[in-house]
Chain A
Amino acid sequence: MIAPNILNDFAETAFFWAALVFMVAVSIAGLGALRLSLKGEAVTALMGVSSFTTVAGVGLYLISLPELFNVGFARDTAIALLVLGTVGTIIFARLFRTEG
């Protein structure tokens, strides 16, 4: 007979550590994206910023989950970063696209 709380403890610990490891990986990817956005020509910088908004948005969304840190207001920032980051990248890429 397995007590239900033991099973839940196993699942919650695994989920917590998995999310934490994922957030650390995403933060390191954010550093790489930031480095890319600070060098090279304009389109490379735009790509770096786009990648940074993605990783920041996903990290913030994970922070906002009630199963993890339950920081409710991070969710709105995450949605804004994910949606506006991608849409903004498309719009700015269209602006950069000049025939020279």
Chain B
Amino acid sequence: MYEEIFTLIYAAIVMAFVAWTIRKGSFIVDPSRLAIYAAFIFAALLAILILLGVDIGIAASALMKLGAAGILFAGTIPIIAATVGFFRFGEEYGPNIFYARNHIAGVIDTDCSLVMIFVGILIFRFDLVAVGFFFFLLLPFSGNALANAYYYSYQRRLNK
């Protein structure tokens, strides 16, 4: 019971922070600083747990799994926002709507690949990291190829 309540509070905090960042349109905390803060919080919590008598391996593994859970919660909000965009923008916006949709698809792809990479690192599943990284490398080519194909096969003909 306590675990579920803790999870609910943790999810609410992480998701509210990400939703606030998306709503604001710029970073609330600079990502480079955020990484340093996260490392500091991890080290402080690890030190507290060791002082309380928990084995260092168990404490580090539990904290890293909590970090992986935070990344999964954080990755949920951009995917939901992108899905709303998929349903929201219809054909009434004209032929250029394809590029907006391509951007939305790119958000989903990038979010999924980054979640795979960081969750894989934090739970020590390096096959997940490898596939996520390979996917992350291929994404820009895929998006560019789609936009290029749309421009040369459809939009150019439309403009003539």
Contact = CB atoms under 8 A, between A and B. Distances in A.
Interface of A: 1-2, 4, 7-15, 17-19, 21-22, 25-26, 28-29, 31-33, 35-36, 40-44, 46-48, 50-51, 54-55, 57-58, 61, 65, 67, 75, 78-79, 82-83, 86-87, 89-90, 93-94, 96-100
Contacts of B134: 82-83
B76 A9 contact: no
Given A10-B3, A10-B66, A18-B68, A28 B83 contact: yes
User: What interface size band does chain B fall in?
Assistant: 35 or more
Interface of B: 2-4, 6-7, 10-11, 49, 52-55, 58-59, 61-63, 65-66, 68-70, 72-73, 75-76, 79-80, 82-83, 86-87, 91, 98, 101-102, 105, 108-109, 112, 115-116, 123, 125, 127-128, 131, 134-135, 138-139, 141-142, 145-146, 148-150, 152-154, 156-157, 160
A89 B42 CA distance: 40
Contacts of B3: 9-10, 13-14
Which applies to chain B's interface (DSSP): helix, strand, loop or mixed?
Answer: helix
Contact of A4 (B11, B55, B83, B135): B55
B142 to A, nearest CB: 5
B153 A32 contact: no
Contacts of A87: 138
Which applies to chain A's interface (DSSP): helix, strand, loop or mixed?
Answer: helix
B7 A17 contact: yes
A25 B141 CA distance: 25
B135 A61 contact: no
B135 A100 contact: no
B35 to A, nearest CB: 20
- What 8 A-B pairs come out closest when comparing CB atoms? A32-B86, A93-B145, A18-B72, A13-B3, A18-B69, A11-B65, A11-B62, A14-B69
Given A21-B11, A29-B108, A55-B112, A90 B141 contact: yes
B137 to A, nearest CB: 9
Given A58-B116, A98-B153, A15 B105 contact: no
